[in-house]
């Protein structure tokens, strides 16, 4: 029979080996091995996405009283959201996150004892949503920190399936360098599987969160229930891809979470295929 100390050391060794193997996979061109389209194709996809209307998002912005600068949003999206894929390009979550976060700041920063915001995100990808949230903090002159998690590394040059690939492989840090004024002091990029890394990050109260990592029932429920104990009444979790047609497990997890963990949910749809759940803690 092995002693408890030996068992703990062995478990830590296997955990570190698993983390190294996982990182190796995500460092070796996991998205693309070369540019997937020319500049004209990326621009065509971008112009098509820009041309679409999204009435529910328009209504949300009017109701909350803030909207992100459209030109700024479209420019960021060209570099971080316009990709070659089978589904339509949709980056309306940037508008949702900006407006909901601005409203949250307005509703809460006047409270006694309210200090810097802690914002939590899973599924960083190219950094679009975290940059939109950083802009909301900046436009409201609000101090805060966004901690964002992804399997993809921040400082390893990759092909990202975006227009910047035509200039050669870039790290995410390099890809986002035009927005350094927003990112440098506000966004912390964490590499790793949230099943392994969440337990090691201590943020205290999580005022606002955006979950766009794993989309299975188990993964979504695990992430949400990791965050919920660190939230207070009025704090917010925004869930991406709330669509029964595409992610029925995610929808079932979010509905279960809101019902059983005392959150009020508001669904906003960009299209029939893309929705968002805004969950506020009771």
* pLDDT of residue 74 exceeding 70: yes
The pLDDT of residue 21 is: 55
Which domains does the chain carry? Answer: 31-281 (3.40.50.150)
Tens of pLDDT, residues 29-52: 778 999 999 999 999 999 999 999
- Mean local confidence (pLDDT), 106-122: 80
The pLDDT of residue 177 is: 98
Structure tokens at 34: 């070369």
The pLDDT of residue 100 is: 98
- Mean local confidence (pLDDT), 249-274: 96
* pLDDT of residue 9 exceeding 60: no
The pLDDT of residue 23 is: 58
Average pLDDT, the chain: 90
Tens of pLDDT, residues 185-243: 999 999 987 676 666 667 789 999 999 998 999 999 999 999 999 999 999 999 999 99
Least confident of 9-18, 153-162, 218-227, 259-268: 9-18
Alpha-carbon gap, residue 175 to 173, rounded angstroms: 6
């Amino acid at each position: 029979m092995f002693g408890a100390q030996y068992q703990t050391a062995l478990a830590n060794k296997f955990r570190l080996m698993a983390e190294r193997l996982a990182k190796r996979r995500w460092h070796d061109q996991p998205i693309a091995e070369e540019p997937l389209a020319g500049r004209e194709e990326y621009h065509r996809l971008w112009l098509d996405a820009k041309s679409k209307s999204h009435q529910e998002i328009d209504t949300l912005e009017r109701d909350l009283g803030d909207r992100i600068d459209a030109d700024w949003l479209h420019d960021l999206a060209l570099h971080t959201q316009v990709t070659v894929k089978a589904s339509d390009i949709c980056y309306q979550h940037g508008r949702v996150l900006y407006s909901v976060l601005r409203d949250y700041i307005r509703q809460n920063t006047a409270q006694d004892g309210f200090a810097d915001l802690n914002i939590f995100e899973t599924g960083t990808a190219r950094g679009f949503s975290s940059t939109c949230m950083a802009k909301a903090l900046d436009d409201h002159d609000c101090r805060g920190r966004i901690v964002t998690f992804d399997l993809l590394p921040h400082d390893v040059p990759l092909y990202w399936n975006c227009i910047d690939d035509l200039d050669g492989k870039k790290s995410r840090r390099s890809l986002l360098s035009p927005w350094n004024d927003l990112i440098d002091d506000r966004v912390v990029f964490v590499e790793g599987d949230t099943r392994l890394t969440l337990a090691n990050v201590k943020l205290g109260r999580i005022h606002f969160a955006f979950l766009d990592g794993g989309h299975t029932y188990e993964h979504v429920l695990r992430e949400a229930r990791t965050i919920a104990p660190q939230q207070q009444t009025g704090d917010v979790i925004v869930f991406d891809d709330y669509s029964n047609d595409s992610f029925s497990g995610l929808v079932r997890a979010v509905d279960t979470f809101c019902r059983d963990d005392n959150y009020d949910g508001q669904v906003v749809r960009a299209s029939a295929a893309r929705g968002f759940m805004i969950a506020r803690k009771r």
